[in-house]
Amino acid sequence: MASTRSNGPVGRWLVALVLLAWGAAIVLAPSQAQSPCLETEDGRCVAAPALADDGPRLGARPEGRPTSIAAGPAVLVRRRDAVSPSHFGALLQAGGSAGAQGLGLHGWWRVSPAPGETIEALTARLRAMPEVAYAEEDTHVQASYLPNDPRLADQWALPVVEADMAWDDTMGHDDVWIAVVDTGVDDTHPDAPSDLWWGWDFANDDGDPWDDNGHGIHVAGIAAAATDNAQGVAGLCPDCDLLAVKVLADDGRGWNSDVADGIAFAAYWGHYYDKRTIINLSLGGGYSVAVADAVAYAQSLGALVVAAAGNDGPQEPQYPAALDGVLAVAATDEDDTPAWFSQYGDIAAPGVYILSTVPDGYQYYSGTSMASPMVAGAAGLVWSLDPSLTATGVSDRLLANVDVPTGWNSAYGAGRLNAARALAPEPSPTPTDTATPTPPATDTATPEPTPTFTATPEATPISTATPEPTPTSTATPEAMPTSTATPAPSATPTAVAGPGPTIAPPTIPAPTATTIVALPGAPTPEPYVLTLPLLMLER
């Protein structure tokens, strides 16, 4: 009894401490239960994707959005890996770049010129910093439209790729998501993807990637519009999740920094949520080290990157479609021939008069932008049916099971997409044990052959020099409408990094021997600057 009385106060204190801890947990729980955020190089946070059913994060949408990009010209800079982000940011501040912003892509920053400083002077100043591994001008991206009469044929492309037969096997799975890195998605459309995830708007620096342009929702509808809902059109992978990532403003203009951040954002969160990730890029143009780095990062996390080959006629695909491991998609017409505007690719898909969703209903567009999400949707079906495949395995499955039209030009890829065949590839023939009858023995003597000696001359090795490919300028076909890009102010780009386990993206060299990119543990040569041409969003 004495022992019980002496321990009573101790027990009461323990109970009080437990209750206090429980109360504190209740107070702290709301903030901790919120979605995790991605920390950028400069310590800012970008919220995680959320299902669109939860509504826009901004509440009521504004009546209008900026029609031009608010941020001015800038330089993309990659710090050396030996330099910490905080130290690099302090160095930029001390050097007069007070408005420098860190991207979510590992090591990259966007640096604006100081008042009165030109881009040329800024790049020279950054090149002189020993902490800088690489720099390039942050150039524009821009949409290019090819709309057509909405009263033409319906979705002629779906039976061509045998979508109906593919749907007998699967209509997709929510473990697969297709990230549409574009102008956003209209979540109010009656045919918007059923499983729509709200990502981030890098063009306006907010959490509402709503499509105020029309290109992104058209692309999203081709890949994953709601199906079997007695409305409008059908997407190729309607039961796949779709992630909306906006990198272009409502006028269709944006920056390479936004594109790189959008790719990294989609890849990181796909990995975080254990999704099999397909990233669709219906845009293209010149080479960018930052965008190439983002693509390599996505691939390192297991994502499949699909990109439009370009709309500038028969020539090599534009970037990022031309990057290693990216599935470049050319466009075909209703005659199963390459479209007149299409550039070369790895695979082709219908891209002429493609009906899909737009903000005010439905519309027909043409372009490799329309062909690319068709391949992305088919990839979603393949990955849903066979989750054991890697991204390369999905790509190989699509390439090995195409239709090859008569007279097909292989420069446009292995052939035209066939979704049903990719889901049920023909098995390799199995050898049979058919016995070969043995002829009866005869008593006819067979003369012994007389050996002959034929001298085989030794082959002389021949050294064949392979010329280095010469970069070609993008020519616009005479019959194709062109748009003249006028530099405009742009929205301040935001960035993403990551919560949870740190995942550092690899760095890759540019396609020339003079590229300088810091590699972990390797000496880094002197930095240089690459200025890039305008990127065009293919539509």
319: nearest Cα among 281, 362, 365: 281
Q: Tell whether omega for the bond before 320 is within 30 degrees of 0, i.e. cis.
A: yes
Give the other-Cβ count within 10 Å of 495's Cβ: 28
- Catalytic, 31? Answer no
Q: What CA–CA distance (Å, rounded) separates 80 from 475?
A: 36
CA 377 to chain centre: 13
Give the other-Cβ count within 10 Å of 398's Cβ: 27
Tokens of 232: 């409008």
- Catalytic, 182? Answer yes
Give the other-Cβ count within 10 Å of 510's Cβ: 17
3-state secondary structure (DSSP) of residue 346: coil
Q: What CA–CA distance (Å, rounded) separates 62 from 54?
A: 18
Main-chain phi, psi angles of 505, to 5 degrees: -70, 150
254: nearest Cα among 326, 184, 359: 184
What is the full DSSP assignment across 180-214? EEES-B-TTSTTS-TTEEEEEETTTTBS--B-SSS
One-letter amino acid at 200 equals: W
Sign of CA dihedral 365, 367, 369, 371: positive
Altogether, the residues listed in the chain come to a count of 539
One-letter amino acid at 156 equals: W
DSSP character for 324? T
Please enumerate in sequence order all residues whose Cβ is within 8 A of that of 287, keeping only pairs 6 or more positions apart, or say none: 319, 322, 510, 511, 530, 532
Cα–Cα separations (whole angstroms), residue 153 to 149, 184, 226, 363, 418: 9, 26, 20, 11, 20
Query: Annotated catalytic residue: which of 106, 173, 189, 215?
Result: 215
Query: Annotated catalytic residue: which of 97, 194, 282, 369?
Result: 369
DSSP character for 315? S
Q: What residues are annotated to the active site? A: 182, 215, 369
